[in-house]
């Protein structure tokens, strides 16, 4: 018989986002398990659970792996990109158009470009990219000088920043300042010899430069070395504020007046006097994987961070509510390697570089043409004091289920014995038009907990529907 007891999963859960870890159910739905992490689109139709839309391959002309990008200061292209050849670390420079298509413009076979050390900025109508030992000057597309300026410390990271109409570069224990287009940088700030500049940012409260330092070279964050954050006004002989922190800060990123920071395997806020922890990131201690500046971007008030093969989002789903976490995208079948760069390319789209000479664009609001395995969702686990018998689940969809040969959704139940004993309840697949709900009867599962795993749009149906509500029926056992 249909269960005497019920509970529902609906918009109130979806807009609360994803929990903080696999076994903590402190938000609206679960992180994931053995099949992967929850990968969903919460923005397309707030309150409705969708699979993310398809990516578009724009890899033509790309050589190597995407490393970074900047705005085009000349207006000739939508954005300028920097990649590195995986075999020899040569740099390749690109225009991208409004669709994200790349055009190879320049190749630097003199310098070596490395993740966590190299950076790129647009400044006064020109572009400056840092390699291991030098700054390359590019005036798109006329001047290209691979020996514009030589760094004094080839072992250190070389972050760069535009601040108050000047360009700044990290060079070991020295901060360099450039005051004019084509003008050579010079030392403006010298730190103690045992300090190494790692990353640069801007504090919106004080208007000062933020300088992350460590006490020895530590590009992969594998050494226990003293990290610090310095406040600097851009012109004085010394920083005016010094804050000791617990771990090396690899990036400062401003969104809506907040300063996000990445440090080691973590994401947090900068409070002005320290770090407020937000979430542990699925990262390894590797300079190609750690969240340096070029691994973060934002679209409007939502931050996007690379987590190896996934894109973690943090932002508001409903205006005026707290920001929530969710995974917005994962490499699907046919894509390989970790993400190597992420950028806002305009019109609500992300540009995504891969470690295998791939570059895709992704519309954060689209749910169209979902690719195979494009979405996965785990509910929270609901625990019971005594065993219950699961009887039925009914899914209400936000629009009619497409009459297609493709699977719109596969629903499975994880019992109290864990995901290794998961039970597939059924697949939404119909030739009938106009259906708005689907029933999954399964009256024999006895368990002390109920959790669902839904594979969304698993066989690329012509149209994609969103989940509005899941109603669960169960009976307590006597």
CA atoms within 13 A on the CB side of 47: 6
Question: Residues 6 or more apart from 320 whose CB is under 8 A from it?
Answer: none
pLDDT at 251: 98
The enclosing H or E element of 277 equals strand 275-280
Domain segments of the chain as ranges: 5-51+375-476, 55-363
Strand partners, 204: none
pLDDT at 3: 73
pLDDT at 336: 63
pLDDT at 335: 58
List the helix and strand counts (H, then E) for the chain: 1, 37
Taking the C-alpha atoms of residue 382 and residue 388, their distance in angstroms, rounded to an integer, is 11
pLDDT at 149: 98
Quick check: do 5-51+375-476 and 55-363 share a fold? Answer: no
pLDDT at 372: 55
pLDDT at 319: 86
CA atoms within 13 A on the CB side of 32: 17
Query: Do residues 342 and 423 make contact, with C-beta atoms less than 8 angstroms apart?
Result: no
CA angle 337, 343, 346 (to 5 degrees): 130
Residue 56 DSSP SS3: strand
CA atoms within 13 A on the CB side of 184: 8
- The pTM of the whole model exceeds 0.75: yes
Strand partners, 144: 138
pLDDT at 1: 60
CA atoms within 13 A on the CB side of 404: 18
Which residue ranges of the chain lie beneath pLDDT 50? none
Taking the C-alpha atoms of residue 376 and residue 455, their distance in angstroms, rounded to an integer, is 5
pLDDT at 320: 84
Per CATH, the homologous superfamily of domain 5-51+375-476 is Galactose-binding domain-like (2.60.120.260)
Query: Do residues 325 and 317 make contact, with C-beta atoms less than 8 angstroms apart?
Result: no
pLDDT at 469: 98
Domain 55-363 has CATH 2.60.40.10: no
């Amino acid at each position: 018989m249909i269960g005497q007891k019920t509970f529902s999963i609906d918009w109130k859960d979806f807009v609360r986002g994803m929990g903080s870890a696999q076994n903590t159910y402190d938000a609206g739905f679960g992180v994931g398990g053995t099949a992967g992490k929850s990968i969903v689109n919460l923005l397309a139709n707030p309150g409705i659970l969708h699979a993310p839309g398809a990516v578009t391959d724009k890899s033509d002309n790309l050589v190597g792996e995407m490393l970074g990008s900047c705005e085009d200061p000349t207006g000739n292209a939508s954005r300028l990109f920097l990649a590195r050849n995986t075999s020899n670390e040569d740099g390749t420079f690109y225009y991208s158009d409004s669709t994200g298509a790349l055009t190879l413009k320049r190749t630097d076979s003199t310098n070596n470009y490395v993740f966590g050390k190299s950076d790129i900025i647009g400044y006064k109508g020109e572009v400056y990219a840092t390699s291991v030992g030098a700054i390359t000057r590019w005036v798109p597309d006329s001047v290209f000088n691979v020996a514009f300026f030589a760094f004094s410390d080839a072992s250190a990271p070389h972050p760069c920043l535009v601040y108050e109409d000047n360009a700044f570069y990290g060079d070991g224990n020295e901060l360099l300042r450039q005051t004019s287009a084509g003008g050579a940088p010079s030392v403006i700030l010298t730190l103690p010899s045992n300090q190494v500049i790692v990353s640069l940012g801007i504090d919106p409260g004080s208007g000062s430069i933020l300088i992350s330092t460590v006490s020895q070279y530590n590009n992969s964050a594998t050494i226990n070395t003293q990290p610090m954050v310095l406040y600097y006004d851009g012109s004085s002989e010394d920083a005016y504020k010094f804050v000791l922190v617990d771990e090396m800060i690899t990036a400062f990123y401003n969104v809506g007046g907040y300063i996000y920071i990445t440090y080691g395997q973590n994401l947090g806020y900068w409070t002005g006097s320290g770090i407020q922890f937000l979430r542990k990131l699925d990262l390894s201690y590797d300079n190609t994987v750690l969240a340096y500046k070029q691994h973060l971007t934002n679209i409007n008030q939502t931050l996007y961070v690379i987590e190896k093969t996934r894109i973690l989002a943090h932002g508001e789903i409903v205006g005026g509510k707290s920001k929530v976490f969710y995974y917005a995208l994962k490499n699907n079948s046919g894509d390989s390697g970790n993400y190597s760069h992420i950028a806002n390319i305009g019109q609500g789209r992300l540009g995504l570089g891969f470690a295998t000479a791939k570059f895709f664009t992704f519309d954060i609001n689209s749910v169209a043409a979902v690719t195979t395995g494009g979405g996965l969702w785990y509910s929270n686990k609901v625990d019971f004091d005594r065993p219950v018998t699961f009887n039925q689940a009914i899914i209400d969809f936000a629009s009619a289920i497409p009459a297609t040969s493709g699977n719109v959704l596969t629903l499975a139940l994880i019992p109290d014995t864990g995901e290794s004993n998961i039970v597939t309840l059924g697949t939404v697949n119909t030739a009938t038009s106009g259906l708005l709900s689907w029933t999954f009867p399964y009256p024999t599962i006895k368990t002390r907990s109920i959790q669902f795993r839904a594979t969304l749009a698993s066989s690329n149906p012509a149209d994609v529907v969103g989940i509005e509500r899941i109603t669960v029926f169960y009976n307590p056992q006597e």
